[in-house]
Amino acid sequence: MPADSTSAARFSRRTLLQASAGLGVGLPAVLAADALMITPRWLTTTSVDMPPLSPPPQGKDAPPAATLMQLSDLHMRQLGSLETQLLDAVHASLPDLLLFTGDAFDTPQGLDVFAEFLAACPTQSMPLGILGNWEYRSGVARQRIATLYEQHGGRLLVNESLEVTTPHGSLVVTGLDDLVQGRPQQQAATRLSGRSPHLLLAHCPGQRDRLEPQIRDGIDLILAGHTHGGQIAPFGMALVTPPGSGRYVRGWYREDGPAMYVSRGLGTSTLPIRLGVTPELVTIRWPLA
């Protein structure tokens, strides 16, 4: 997150607390104002460092790492302050891949905003996306979404695998259909094989527990979203997660299967609030050679 936006968010929160104390406003009102006005715009960045597929020979440095960014659950409605922070972060890093793990928009109007967002992203950053439950609920035809990605040099992956070549090596990216509204077909994960690192994009983290054994063994990393980290999580405790979340909420899961990182997401759904869980941009550095 850019330093100025961090400072601004902290200043806003401190100002809110000071003003509420001066006016005698109670804690519930303060929390409500924070959940509506501050936390939803407080962008945080998580860095994920992946190991190389095989250790470098003794005395040799690890190969240069490709940079991937996960932007999950944008729920685009406008290009506001949060989206501006996101674009600043993307342009500062110039990632090789932009990975949109579902729920980029909720409505046909949101698709238009998402199109503006993609147009503002660096042209050298390839966008790859999957569908979430809200893309289905929006009623927008899949082909329109696929065409939008193609117009920006990218691809919508629906039960598809794609070998992607970056300046720092190649990897296989598999995108599964949404677990709640779509029809995920795991065979897509086996259509490309080889020694390239294998990344699986699945909107719902509950998909991890449904992977067939022969597929689980070939996946190096799963990126998921959907949960928003609970979206309303006082003191970090998620009150509820949506269907399809399974036993997952946010962060790393490494036991009993391939490593998975569950993003807290960026936008909001149903209620335009966040409490206890800030929006999260995930940056992955991965030596691919």
200-252, pLDDT tens digit by residue? 999 999 999 999 998 898 899 999 999 999 999 988 899 999 999 999 999 99
Q: How far is CA 141 from the centre of its chain?
A: 22
84-97: per-residue pLDDT in tens? Answer: 999 999 999 999 99
- Could you tell me which of 186, 172, 117 has the C-alpha nearest to residue 149? 117
Do the beta carbons of residue 132 and residue 100 sit within 8 Å? no
The string of pLDDT tens digits covering residues 58-79 is: 778 777 899 999 999 999 999 9
Tell me, yes or no, if the pTM score tops 0.85: yes
Domain that holds residue 15: 1-42
Q: What digits encode the pLDDT tens for the residues 132-190?
A: 999 999 999 999 999 999 999 999 999 999 999 999 999 999 999 999 999 999 988 87
Distance of alpha carbon 126 from alpha carbon 149, whole angstroms:
9
Number of domains present in the structure of the chain = 2
Q: Is the pLDDT of residue 100 over 70?
A: yes
For the stretch 79-83, contacts whose Cβ atoms lie closer than 8 Å and that sit 24 or more positions apart, written own/partner, are: 79/113, 79/116, 79/117, 79/120, 80/41, 81/5, 81/41, 82/40, 82/41, 82/43, 82/266, 82/267, 82/279, 83/117
Q: Are residues 1 and 98 in the same domain?
A: no
Q: Under a CB-based contact definition with an 8 Å cutoff, are residues 52 and 62 in contact?
A: yes
pLDDT at position 61 is 79
- How far apart are the C-alpha atoms of 191 and 285, rounded to whole Å? 25
Answer yes or no: do 113 and 225 share one domain.
Answer: yes
Same domain for 240 and 218: yes
Q: What is the pLDDT of residue 228?
A: 98
> In terms of DSSP bridges, do strands 251-253 and 260-262 run parallel, antiparallel, or are they unpaired?
antiparallel
The domain that holds 191 is classified in CATH as: 3.60.21.10
